[in-house]
Amino acid sequence: MADFFDTIPASEFKDVLVVNPKSKKEKTYKVATRDAYFDSIGTHRIVFIDATDAKDDSCVIDEGVVQESTSKRKFRVFITGNMAWDAATILHLVTR
């Protein structure tokens, strides 16, 4: 995923607002979405959060781990098989 993340230009990351259903707190993430085909499991939607400029762990959803790509950019990734969901829906669901 790190190499895939590095192929996405920074200009393609757009602000996505997510409201945590438990706390009702709002958070905006810099997000890019890609659809990718995997041999054994088919096409999946991948949501990348760009955490490169994050000053703290606020870019981490659900106690996840921020990864670092080969270019030293930081990111968080979520993958789903539901191709109807957009980035906001996917991130909203993982905050439950």
- Give the count of domains, the chain: 1
Output the pLDDT for position 32.
Answer: 96
- Do residues 73 and 6 make contact, with C-beta atoms less than 8 angstroms apart? yes
Which residues form the domain of 50?
2-94
Output the pLDDT for position 57.
Answer: 64
Q: Mean of the pLDDT values across residues 39-68?
A: 82
Tens digits of per-residue pLDDT, 57-81? 666 666 667 888 888 899 999 999 9
Where does the pLDDT of residue 89 fall: very low under 50, low under 70, confident under 90, or very high at 90 and above?
very high
pLDDT above 90 (res 42): yes
Of the two residues 58 and 34, the one the predictor is more confident about is: 34
Q: Residue 48 class from Cβ within 10 Å (0-12 exposed, 13-18 middle, 19+ buried)?
A: buried
**CB-hemisphere CA count at 13 Å for 70?**
7
Output the pLDDT for position 58.
Answer: 63
